[in-house]
Copies of this chain bind each other. A is one copy, B any other.
């Protein structure tokens, strides 16, 4: 499935963001991750549990059922399931067969997110996640804030591709957070297993239109280091470090501000995905203003991705080969790693 090989949709052996951790309360949340229906809730002891979202009896969605004392009761025929997925009651009979259970999926709260693993549970290692230190969530003097959740009508990789290539800031977001330098400045690429990143060090250039309008910085021309650190398959951390340019008469090179933004892209069905957006900013930043300013920016990314999905549909999902340029190296590498993850899963499946 574009841009992957035919039959490749998304890796299953991976941590995906299912929701913001703060959203998980003692009530049921429905999600579909890599085509797998899930139901999510917080137990009375404070732990989160993630279970299969389809009642094994008649396929009713457990996420639209009832929760009481950590037990889900299916809204249709009342089969009840404990927080480990084991059926604990079938109202129409005394006997509850052991075989009646729903899968429990590995889940971990980490940073602002609840992460779920819908693949082989043996492989679900929380250490595969980037550390909070690495994500600048418990350091750098930044305060994390959740921002937006969207269900998007496009394949997840279109949003990944969006984030792999920040040259789009100059155009898709050219009236808000981007300037031409976001495209023209050379990239510093980095990669390691399950990780790609691209950084641009923009020197002595005007600040973006939105920041100018808001008087965000005490000077017109700034140095900006901007980039994206992508933890595959779907967490992208945007990095921004702003300082006075070397040409500044009083405080050359002095730091002005910095922040991180977090785009969590989760494959839902082949044609839909989830988008969780969050930030970490310095104390004193007007977070409500930031939310207001960034909402249309994220909407632009969604607009572009959904429009591309419509173009792809003209080709029955198999569009002509893309013209690749230098700024696609990061996306090419990210896609290659994702394809390799899927190939490895496929090979393992064939061996079994």
In the assembled complex, which residues on chain B have CB atoms less than 8 Å from the CB atom of A126?
Answer: none
The answer on a CB contact under 8 Å between B326 and A172 is: no
In the assembled complex, which residues on chain B have CB atoms less than 8 Å from the CB atom of A322?
Answer: 56-59
Q: Which of B73, B92, B99, B168 contacts A326 (CB 8 A)?
A: B92
Are A307 and B64 CB-contacts (below 8 A) given A91-B167, A167-B92, A180-B91? Answer: yes
Number of residues of chain A lying within 8 A (CB) of chain B: 53
Q: Give A324 to B79 CA distance when docked, in angstroms.
A: 12
Extra contacts, 16 of them, besides A76-B172, A77-B167, A77-B171 (Cβ < 8 A), are A32-B314, A35-B314, A57-B322, A57-B328, A58-B161, A58-B322, A61-B307, A61-B310, A61-B311, A73-B171, A74-B171, A75-B171, A90-B327, A91-B170, A92-B183, A100-B323
Majority SS at the chain A contact face: loop
**Which of A56, A99, A180, A311 has the most B CB atoms < 10 Å from its CB?**
A311
Q: List 12 A-B contacts (CB under 8 A).
A: A36-B314, A60-B308, A74-B171, A76-B172, A76-B304, A77-B167, A77-B171, A77-B172, A78-B170, A78-B183, A91-B183, A97-B325
What distance in Å separates the Cβ of A166 from its nearest Cβ neighbour in chain B?
10
Chain A contacts to B: CB under 8 angstroms: 32, 35-37, 53-54, 56-61, 64, 73-78, 90-93, 97, 99-100, 161, 165, 167-168, 170-172, 180, 183-184, 269, 304, 307-308, 310-312, 314, 319-320, 322-328
The answer on a CB contact under 8 Å between A311 and B167 is: no
The answer on a CB contact under 8 Å between B78 and A171 is: yes
In the assembled complex, which residues on chain B have CB atoms less than 8 Å from the CB atom of A75?
Answer: 171-172, 304
The answer on a CB contact under 8 Å between B58 and A308 is: yes
Q: Which of B92, B172, B312 contacts A325 (CB 8 A)?
A: B92
Quickly give the copy total for this chain: 3
**Which of A76, A97, A326 has the most B CB atoms < 10 Å from its CB?**
A76
In the assembled complex, which residues on chain B have CB atoms less than 8 Å from the CB atom of A183?
Answer: 77-78, 91-92
Q: Give A58 to B73 CA distance when docked, in angstroms.
A: 46
Q: Which of B57, B91, B324 contacts A323 (CB 8 A)?
A: B57
Q: Give A183 to B79 CA distance when docked, in angstroms.
A: 11
The answer on a CB contact under 8 Å between B319 and A59 is: yes
What distance in Å separates the Cβ of A10 from its nearest Cβ neighbour in chain B?
14
In the assembled complex, which residues on chain B have CB atoms less than 8 Å from the CB atom of A325?
Answer: 57, 90, 92-93, 97, 100
Q: Give A58 to B94 CA distance when docked, in angstroms.
A: 59
In the assembled complex, which residues on chain B have CB atoms less than 8 Å from the CB atom of A92?
Answer: 167, 183-184, 325-327
What distance in Å separates the Cβ of A61 from its nearest Cβ neighbour in chain B?
5
Nearest B residue to A99 by beta-carbon distance?
Answer: B323
Q: Give A328 to B100 CA distance when docked, in angstroms.
A: 14
Q: Give A161 to B58 CA distance when docked, in angstroms.
A: 9
The answer on a CB contact under 8 Å between B37 and A314 is: yes
The answer on a CB contact under 8 Å between B77 and A165 is: yes
